[in-house]
Structure 1
Amino acid sequence: MNYKFEETTDEKNGKYLIIKGCEDSCRQLVIPESDSNLVPVRIIGNHAFSSRDDLVEVAIPNSVHTILGFAFHNCGNLKKISLTDSVTEYLDGGTRQCESLEEIEVFLENGNNYIIRRILEDNDRRLTFRMHMPDGEALLVFPGFNYDFVENTMARTIQFAIEGTGYAYRECVKSDQIGFREYDNLFSKVSADDKGTAEMIAMARILAPYELSEDARIAYEKWLLEHALKSLTIAVDNEGTVSKGKAGTNTGANIGTFDDYLRDTQEHTAFYLERKLITKADARKLAHIAADRGITAIVSMLMDYAETDSDVEKSGDEGVTNRKDDNILELDF
């Protein structure tokens, strides 16, 4: 790759490089740790990769400690960024107006949450963070939000209100810790506000249950069970759709984001079936819907599930099971 560098020196870092861009077209950009002379890359420069339509995925090495302003601004097809917590300075606009951005993967090698909080502060869109920590992995979906400005003519002031739960979810990320319990406690609000995002949050927490309490797990599973038919009907209806990014570029290609997992209708459905988070009656209804759409693989999965010999099925009420043979509700003790 034909990268553009600027070499500089200071007392703290010695000789190092600022990466200023790349002259070649690139779908998956891997920023190098150093140049051919082993001079390390420490900084991603101002507007280094801004307004590029070719970028879909970016990997930033742990040699980089600073991302300057608008480094990836307006990259309309950028879906995923991978980086480490070695980044200790992130200026405004780094990922702003990246309308296809879905996931940030962070390797927390030093226990530093700075880059997570700064990217969240810089974006009001929904984002998923895949966090790799020494003792486990977390998958957290942060809803989007909007600022609504209203003029108060009587008081001659401009007042603003925040629409959506995204701001409250962002407040769970502090400089020194992530409040997982605080994050889980917000679920009742987002589930009333945005059921699509609520499903993503619940599925993500179950898939990667880092510091997930038993009460929160039960609440997530109960909600998913109650909304399974509607959620999966939407997934089936969206089968085969392709997200189109700026300039018509195909950004629907699977690069391993959580959104990609959800867009795979078979994977999405299998999540519910493997965990018995859909009743057999709803599975049969969904099988008919899938059959009408001609999605035979999903029909087969659902009918196999609905016709299993297991005599115990979950219901929407906590601690209650439904016996297949007599339809009598029995309490679990």
Structure 2
Amino acid sequence: MRAGDSRGGRQIPSPCRVQGQKRTERQAMRASVRIGKTTAAMLLLAAVVAGCSAGSSRGPATSAARPPVAPALRGQALRELESAYASPDAVVRAHAMEVLHELALPDAAGPILAALRDREAIVRFAAATAAGELRLAEAREPLLAMINDKDANVRVAAIFAMHRLGDTRFSRTLEQTLTDPDVNVRGNTAMLLGRLGERSAVRILVPRLRAEREVRVKLQIAEALWMLGDENGLKMLVAASISRYPDDQMIAFTALAGPHDQRVAGHIVSGLSSDYAEVALVAARALGMVGRADGMQVAMKYVTAGDPRQRLLAARALGAIGRTDAQQALAGLLKDKSADVRLSAAAAILALR
């Protein structure tokens, strides 16, 4: 089935055509769709299978013709990342762990091992997840102890990491935590099952996708399924990408881009023209994740925004896009008064190629 084909008298919309519709028409379309409407998802899914025939005129996210990253700027970024390990803000410390595993820096082991002993559960969770993502063998002993951590989310991350290190003795517990009364535990379990990359998890995720009532968790389950290549997850994320709720759109854009499949770009690009700055910035980042620079102008627009959340999202978008001509803008954000904005800018600089 291809975008633009007619089935039963109904025209299947292509994301490329939807992007070109008048603003009022797009708003009406979004208002008419709810997450989980199978019909809308099936109609839009066709474009992922077929792809958009007209690609972005702005080219790929990176280009060899652009200037190299300045060594001095990279050094400043590394120092900012190092300072984040000891930040008084637990959220910043946790974010630093995410940066370490996303960039797979060669000296990541030391900070991650130290963070496994952090007093805050959010940091221990992020560190255990990073240890699993990077398969840090030296983390095996502390991770084994964390199987009995007082925080359920940390226990889930420790089980994930041990599984990634080849110890599957505790992995069946994730089937139980996927139905935990705590919404965060259910969501984190779904996310980490997707990151395990094992198709066997589809067997337990699909029934939970149908049974889950919390929208945020439902979308995390859909994200996990899409990471595992299952179309049940893709259908729900495509529907959520045109939800009338901005939060759902942002989750959907990032989740769709997770597997780095360029065919989903058509479902993300319309987000660049959202009335909500945060939605547009998340769409810009998601497009960067699939190798497109369509969101460069949007990201640059918010580098100097008054809202630190928007500056943070702008930095993350520029990092995902990866164009080295963003260095000057990121250098400015590296001096931001917000520690998390500075860390996001540092991560973006280190991601430039």
Whichever structure has more strand as a proportion of its residues is 1
TM (normalized to structure 2)?
A: 0.33
Structure index of larger Rg:
1
